[in-house]
Amino acid sequence: MKKNLTSGWSRRRFLQAGSGLLATSALHFGYSKTALAKAIGQALPQFTALRPAQKGILTAAHWGAFEAIIENERMVGVQPVSDDPAPNELIAMAPWQVYAPNRIKTPMVRKSWLENGPGSHAERRGRDEWVAVSWDKAIALVSTEIKRLQQDYGPSAIYAGSYGWKSTGMLHNCRALLQRLMNLCGGFLSYSGDYSTGAAQVIMSHVVGSMEVYEQQTSWPNVLEHSELVILWGCNPQTTLKNSWNVPDHVGLEGFAQLAEKGVRTIAIDPIRQPGAKALNAEWIAPHAYTDSAMMLGIAHTLLSEQLHDEAFLKRYTVGFDRFRASLLGEDDGVVKNAQWASAICGVEAETIRQLARDMAQKRTMIMAGWGIQRQHHGEQPHWLLVTLAAMLGQIGLPGGGFGFSYHYSSGGSPTARGGIISGISAGEAPQNAPAPIPVARIADCLANPGKTIDFNGRQITYPDVKMVYVAGGNPFHHHQDTNNLLQAWRRPETIVVQEPYWTATATHADIVLPCTTSYERNDLDMGGDYSRLYVFPMRQCVAPQHQARNDFDIFRAIAARLGVEQAFTEGRDEMLWLKSMYDNMKGQARTAGVALPPFDMFWQSNSYIRFPVPEANKQWVRFADFRADPLLNPLGTPSGKIEIFSQRIAAMQYPDCPGLPGWLPPQEWHGSPLAERWPLSLNTAHPALRLHSQLDNTPLRAKHAVANREEILINPQDAARRGIRSGDLVRAFNSRGQILVGALVTEDIRPGVVRISEGAWYDPADPTQPGTLCRNGNVNCLTVDIGTSMLAQGNCGHMAQLEIEKYQGDAPPNMAHAMPSGVV
Ligand SMILES: Nc1nc2c(c(=O)[nH]1)N[C@H]1C(S)=C(S)[C@@H](COP(=O)(O)OP(=O)(O)OC[C@H]3O[C@@H](n4cnc5c(=O)[nH]c(N)nc54)[C@H](O)[C@@H]3O)O[C@H]1N2
Ligand SMILES: Nc1nc2c(c(=O)[nH]1)N[C@H]1C(S)=C(S)[C@@H](COP(=O)(O)OP(=O)(O)OC[C@H]3O[C@@H](n4cnc5c(=O)[nH]c(N)nc54)[C@H](O)[C@@H]3O)O[C@H]1N2
Ligand SMILES: [Mo]
């Protein structure tokens, strides 16, 4: 038996459940027809909540739940589960994930680090030689280093926040496991916030009293029945709903399809006409990049001047409208923020802005906003202004009206089911001396500037001196802004450990690399439907661990054993015992909710998933309806209990880049800034349709979107013609921070002055000794700027950068992004 299998017990169990099922197809195929099923069905009528697999082994990913088809112990294909209303083609990449040529095959240590100790020749990260070591040796090196740093410097020297999208699964949650280990070993430096909604989640907690961006939305059936006008503001649901944090239920995609079928009027406000907007037959309004706040003010001014705003609503449910009115009228700074004024900034005709205001006021309007507009300098403003606009329209809390900030994400609005919830393995308690977390997107700043103090949401944070970075389940060389700046900051820590299935750029820039399994090589459980909690999916092991890869759980357990905390780490449970305890806990909740479920063993062996019932009332749930019904009884979590159009709390912070009232604050880089003369084009870094960030960039799906074997760039014909660029050309995109090779797609679907390069292409430096060198694969973060959105939220500004492009001259360099590091097999 292979050493890296989790345990004899779980392996046996897998064989029993897996090949046993394949052999005796009665249980596997015709589950409901078996005597066992019949017996259970009689005992527990709700057992029909179970959905048996048809052909393969049930598992799941961020892209959907599916059955893995196994032949001769190899995964050869997939089939979506029958309940999925909009199966995602990304699931077809599962076998490629398992058998990718660039899997990390064995633990590796960077030569200089191994020979000369921590910190040695840190500038060679990314180009040093690699030395293969045994698992025992790798575990010993990592454990010794954790112990040394805890003893010499304490927990603030170890950054183990490890931001990232990892894989689904509630047990093999590498980030929680890493943090669990570190909490047991003295603590670590963590982070707050995320890259997704860095600005919006902080500003919303001041404006509506919750993060809002991750709240349940007015349910889809209610929207379909009542909304007459849907505004997609920087919102690209057909792309971003493909994947979810938990396993997607894809109810949002179904919702949008029905919206189109019903012919509900939809307007997409986006510099790019997304394919999804076309599918919806959406009208297209294309403001210039990063100018939405000005456009929103123009709409607000029109509502005010044409008396289309709801005074009664504003009076009863909001504070600060008087000040906002004064600002719209220019009483504060002498600038009247009317549609004409907005038009000069955002490039949308004044009459279009005015008409939009009228249409929104006359119809039952749902404003659905995405998050790209807040991943920008002063990104707090657009969402604050959208809430303000919705308040002026007075439809918040009414069926089909108001605003929703997660219809595009993990199917917000998918009605909540009645059942139980799987809670995952916990990160445990941080010790009392654990340092204060840093805002997640300030990591490079923190690594480079120990001792520096920054403002953050009314507090001050001083960066500690980080000696070790431990990454499991994230890819900072993709996700962080200004890659070349990160590259320099990344040289400061003495030790960098990366636990990964693949040789990503983050892995190649580590000192110690630990190969971990993909989710298809282990047993796990996850919920389906982030908002609906509709399903429980088993994620059953499909194939044996590849090469020498080990499960994250086992890697951390081995480190824990060396550091004397194994018992606390495992609580005496192995993989299957953990899954059973999670299931039993969920089953208890379901029972309380009136849904009976079979015992764990039966569930697991049945190769079925659970679908919970959805109560009728939840299908008509309306966000903020309770607040609207009685704002005194159901106040918001803001200081006033109302929607804060003016925030005294923010005003008191006296931040010049985020005052107490929302408005138009020009970003550091935009088409109207002086640097636009040198860098005339505005960058849009939307999320990729056929990837999850950087995940799946190393699969054949890439052939569907890459142009000239590079990440594609969308260019308007006017901008292309001026530079002699045609579709299919290799293009160099560059600014003062970096340069990347991309492939041109010239299209009318993007407004002039804006280019789009999706986030997520793996970083592939032409000359790894030189920061600033050409990235041959097109990692867009080589061009973005690493500043906080403001002193309030310190969110990232990945969606804002000015640049220039040119047709690439010279021979096309090879693209080595998905190759093994040289010398490594
Ligand atoms: N310019 C720009 N930058 C952006 C964005 C943008 O819009 N523009 N978007 C930002 C956003 S919203 C986000 S959320 C981030 C996303 O940034 P990340 O979440 O860091 O991106 P992923 O590519 O999902 O990286 C996950 C990594 O985990 C690894 N992994 C998967 N499963 C496992 C596992 O079981 N164990 C271990 N140890 N590793 C595993 C994968 O191979 C992959 O390398 O990017 C941000 N960056
Ligand atoms: N297929 C797929 N789905 C995903 C992901 C993925 O990587 N791939 N990532 C997941 C994650 S982690 C997240 S956080 C969400 C991200 O969800 P979002 O943040 O909403 O997605 P983005 O693509 O960054 O931006 C959405 C839209 O905003 C537009 N936009 C950008 N800048 C501006 C602007 O200045 N003005 C206007 N009006 N519009 C603008 C973009 O063109 C895009 O159409 O998606 C999730 N879903
Ligand atoms: Mo995200």
592 CB-side CA count, 13 A: 8
Q: How far is the C-alpha of 492 from the C-alpha of 512, rounded, in Å? A: 15
Q: Which of 130, 135, 159, 165 is catalytic?
A: 165
Cα of 240 vs centre of ligand 2, distance in Å, is 7
Full domain range(s) for residue 801: 674-807
99 is catalytic: no
Regarding the beta carbon of 607 and ligand 1, being less than 6 Å apart is answered no
In-domain check, residue 614 = no
Regarding the beta carbon of 504 and ligand 1, being less than 6 Å apart is answered yes
Q: How far is the C-alpha of 498 from the C-alpha of 485, rounded, in Å? A: 19
Same domain, 248 and 289: yes
Residue 32 reports pLDDT greater than 50 = no
Q: What percent of the chain has pLDDT over 70?
A: 94
Instruction: Supply the angle between the helices 552-562 and 135-153 in degrees, to the nearest 10.
Output: 60
- If one counts the domains in the chain, the total is 3
Regarding the beta carbon of 694 and ligand 1, being less than 6 Å apart is answered yes
522 is in an annotated binding site: yes
pLDDT category at 48 given cuts 50, 70, 90 is low
- Which segment, 276-280, 432-436, 462-466, is predicted with the most confidence on average? 462-466
Q: Domain holding 263: CATH number?
A: 3.40.228.10
Same domain, 315 and 407: yes
Same domain, 188 and 203: no
pLDDT category at 35 given cuts 50, 70, 90 is low
In-domain check, residue 532 = no
The neighbour count for residue 599, using CB atoms within 10 Å, is: 12
> Of 51 and 148, which is predicted with more confidence?
148
Same domain, 176 and 300: no
Same domain, 343 and 237: yes
Q: How far is CA 696 from CA 22, 388, 597, 760, in A?
A: 29, 39, 35, 9
In-domain check, residue 212 = yes
214 is catalytic: no
In tens, the pLDDT along 441-489 reads 999 999 999 999 999 999 999 999 999 999 999 999 999 999 999 999 9
pLDDT category at 380 given cuts 50, 70, 90 is very high
Best CA proximity match to 762, nearest among 823, 691, 810, 812 = 691
Cα of 98 vs centre of ligand 1, distance in Å, is 18
At residue 36, the pLDDT reads: 53
Residue whose pair of structure tokens reads 């030689």 in the numeric block: 129
165 is in an annotated binding site: yes
Same domain, 284 and 165: no
pLDDT category at 15 given cuts 50, 70, 90 is very low
In tens, the pLDDT along 202-239 reads 999 999 999 999 999 999 999 999 999 999 999 999 99
In-domain check, residue 537 = no
Residue 92 reports pLDDT greater than 50 = yes
In-domain check, residue 557 = yes
In-domain check, residue 71 = no
Q: Domain holding 683: CATH number?
A: 2.40.40.20
Q: How far is the C-alpha of 63 from the C-alpha of 692, rounded, in Å? A: 8
In tens, the pLDDT along 381-432 reads 999 999 999 999 999 999 999 999 999 999 999 999 999 999 999 999 999 9
Q: How far is CA 586 from CA 53, 226, 269, 285, 565, in A?
A: 21, 35, 42, 46, 27
Name the residue of 244, 556, 694 to mutate for ligand 1: max ligand atoms within 8 A of Cβ.
694
In tens, the pLDDT along 64-91 reads 999 999 999 999 999 999 999 999 999 9
E-strand spans in 735-792? 739-746, 754-757
Same domain, 407 and 494: no
723 is in an annotated binding site: no
Same domain, 287 and 331: yes
Rounded to the nearest 5°, which phi and psi values hold at 722? -60, -25
At residue 276, the pLDDT reads: 82
Cα of 235 vs centre of ligand 2, distance in Å, is 7
| Ligand 2 atom with the shortest distance to the CA of 269 | 38
- Whether residue 215 contacts residue 200, with contact meaning beta carbons closer than 8 Å, is answered with no
Residues with CB under 5 A from ligand 3 (ion): 196
**Cut 0.85: pTM above it:** yes
Q: Last residue of a domain, which of 572, 587, 613?
A: 572
Regarding the beta carbon of 234 and ligand 1, being less than 6 Å apart is answered no
Determine the average pLDDT of the residues in 570-596: 96
375 is in an annotated binding site: yes
In-domain check, residue 88 = no
Regarding the beta carbon of 238 and ligand 2, being less than 6 Å apart is answered no
At residue 40, the pLDDT reads: 55
Same domain, 400 and 284: yes
In-domain check, residue 597 = no
Determine the average pLDDT of the residues in 789-804: 98
Same domain, 295 and 346: yes
Q: Which of 113, 130, 163, 670 is catalytic?
A: 163
Same domain, 405 and 465: no
Q: Domain holding 488: CATH number?
A: 3.40.50.740
71 CB-side CA count, 13 A: 4
At residue 720, the pLDDT reads: 98
Task: Compute the C-alpha angle 459/465/467, nearest 5°.
Answer: 140
Same domain, 770 and 803: yes
pLDDT category at 308 given cuts 50, 70, 90 is very high
pLDDT category at 18 given cuts 50, 70, 90 is very low
Cα of 12 vs centre of ligand 2, distance in Å, is 44
- Whether residue 417 contacts residue 595, with contact meaning beta carbons closer than 8 Å, is answered with no
**Ligand 1: residue whose CA is nearest its atom 39:** 473
